[in-house]
Structure 1
Amino acid sequence: MHATTPGTADRDEPPAIELRGVTKRFTTDKATPYTALRDLDLEVAPGEFCAVVGPTGCGKSTTLTLVSGLERPSTGSVEVHGRRVSGITPGVGFMFQTDAILPWKTVLDNVSAGPRFRGTPKRQALDDARDWIRRVGLNGFEDRYPHQLSGGMRKRVALAQNLITEPRVILMDEPFSALDVQTRAKMSTELLALWDLTRPAVVFVTHDLEEAIALADTVVVLTAGPAATVKARFAIDLPRPRVVQEIRFEPRFVDIYHQIWEALRAEVDLAYAQTTQLSAKESS
């Protein structure tokens, strides 16, 4: 497969994200540390939308925390735009599985909080927040509180929170997994339209292979954990712009799905077998 061109970056520009030989170990209550990732290499170009798939426990979320600087690699290097990550990475947005919006603040205050924290004058921050609230389809809801919004509306607030600061990199950890199927597909299409406005590099973690293909320029498959690493990388040659609700019916989409599933299926089976064996040991 041949990818659509991810962004318009100069060839001499460094990757937006680059992990080289990354191993990540966590201490446990056992004698041996748990190795989540081992010798993982991953590169994401400026403007590229990269989806990461793999079975449960394969280190997908850990990969995001390493890029964000929330965790440090045990060995190997992590760079963002050519600079080694040594702490919380500036210019990186992070959209979590659960909403990271403040329940005691209105939609307007939540969206404007990031720019105001970065020193933007209050009037400018509020004007920018209103603009992004409009872009994510929440015009008229500026004074609502999170508990007054549906799940899909809260996700729109989270998108506006991340995009208002125009990050060069956005990390997304299964952000739509709690939504119903119809709302999830609609949010995915809206995400693509908003991403296209500024074209940041995106790493989107998901368990849903259909979602990954519908969104991404590139799909990366991780092996089953522990000690997960990259198994395969697939370029997605579906044309843009895409409507997620419709692109799944394209014959090319089905072809790509089968190709990636061949790589993913063995890892899912292995992870399931490991879980079953562990459960049997614990119950015996």
Structure 2
Amino acid sequence: MSTSASPKRDSAGPPAGPVIELDGATKRFRSAGGVHTAVRDLHMTVGPGEFVAVVGPTGCGKSTTLSLVSGLEPASAGRVLVHGRPVEGIPDGVGYMFQNDAVLPWRSVLDNVAAGPRYRGASRREARDRARDWVARVGLAGFEGYYPHQLSGGMRKRAALAQTLVNEPSVLLMDEPFSALDVQTRGLMQDELLRLWSGSGAAVVFVTHDLEEALVLSDRVVVMTAGPATVKGVFEVPLERPRDAEEVRLTGGFLDIYREVWESLREEVQITRERGAGHAA
């Protein structure tokens, strides 16, 4: 176990460099009580086509980590690189899927999905053609003219996924995107994500509170400590692809890796609980 993985090798032989690299990254925020350190001394890499899930106790700084990679927040110390370049503003090729849908209520499904390509300079016709293709890919063909309030929660997530993937990001950041869904719909969306991501070459960082979800989806799971968070450990997920989100949970290999990661994560969850109890007292 290590806090970084060996770079994947391409067909030419030499190792491909990491798409995402955090090298001693720290983030501090000023507050009324002084300075709050959200994350400290983070070391993590994500290679091309690699799916990395980040888990940790509530409030430890998982979302802050995504903010550093996306350029929404600058690092206070250390380095954050995307495609080998320091992050100074939002890097090219980054797609971000938030916990809350970013679909605009006054736009149809098609127009929501077409907004990204239009913003990037595509003609109206080209943007709508690309959007129509992605709406079909996520299983919403026939709903192009619907508005967000006319969709179920799962359909809204499908629209948000199409909205993100239509731009063909090389880096996909996902902050608990399925947490508000019921169990059955969440499983369907996990399968949908794996299907659409497979073969794309995108590097994915997926933040979740759900350890099962992390293991179902990822190649590696990063466990973060209680806040201020740093990387406690990184675990390879030895489950073959392609995966079925429901069936893989029933395998012996899944249960083995679940026990191993939970043993590490449980200690940090307990620390957070004890801190909360102490503040309440």
Distance in 1 (CA, whole Å) between partners of 2:269 and 2:195 is 31
Aligned to 1:234: 235
Aligned to 1:262: 263
Worse-matched range after superposition: 245-254 or 6-15:
6-15
Matches within 5 A, 1:28-47: 28-30=31-33, 32-47=34-49
Q: Which amino acid aligns with 2:221?
A: V
- The answer on whether the counterparts of 2:174 and 2:205 sit within 8 Å (CA) in structure 1 is yes
Structure-1-length-normalised TM-score? 0.95
Q: Which amino acid aligns with 2:266?
A: R
1:25 to 2, 25, 28: 28
Distance in 1 (CA, whole Å) between partners of 2:118 and 2:133 is 15
Shift of 1:14: 2.3
Matches within 5 A, 1:1-284: 8=10, 11-30=14-33, 32-225=34-227, 227-280=228-281
Pair 1:128–1:197, CA change in 2 (3 A): farther
Shift of 1:6: 6.0
Aligned residues: 278
Pair 1:275–1:11, CA change in 2 (3 A): farther
Pair 1:11–1:155, CA change in 2 (3 A): farther
Paired residue secondary structure (2:96): strand
Distance in 1 (CA, whole Å) between partners of 2:233 and 2:15 is 25
Paired residue secondary structure (1:198): coil
Distance in 2 (CA, whole Å) between partners of 1:204 and 1:8 is 23
Shift of 1:7: 8.0
- The answer on whether the counterparts of 1:188 and 1:215 sit within 8 Å (CA) in structure 2 is yes
Q: Which amino acid aligns with 1:56?
A: T
Q: Which amino acid aligns with 2:231?
A: V
Paired residue secondary structure (1:237): coil
Gaps of 5+ in 2: none
Alpha-carbon displacement from aligned partner over 1:130-182 (angstroms, at most 9, x marks no partner)? 10000000000000000000000000011101111100000000000000000
Shift of 1:121: 1.1
Distance in 2 (CA, whole Å) between partners of 1:195 and 1:55 is 27
Q: Alignment RMSD, CA only?
A: 1.8
- The answer on whether the counterparts of 1:169 and 1:201 sit within 8 Å (CA) in structure 2 is yes
Percent identity reads 61
Paired residue secondary structure (2:37): strand
- The answer on whether the counterparts of 2:10 and 2:16 sit within 8 Å (CA) in structure 1 is no
- The answer on whether the counterparts of 1:69 and 1:86 sit within 8 Å (CA) in structure 2 is yes
Distance in 2 (CA, whole Å) between partners of 1:137 and 1:254 is 31
- The answer on whether the counterparts of 2:8 and 2:15 sit within 8 Å (CA) in structure 1 is no
Distance in 2 (CA, whole Å) between partners of 1:132 and 1:6 is 28
Q: Which amino acid aligns with 1:29?
A: A
Alpha-carbon displacement from aligned partner over 1:8-63 (angstroms, at most 9, x marks no partner)? 47644321100001111111101x30111111101101110000000001110000
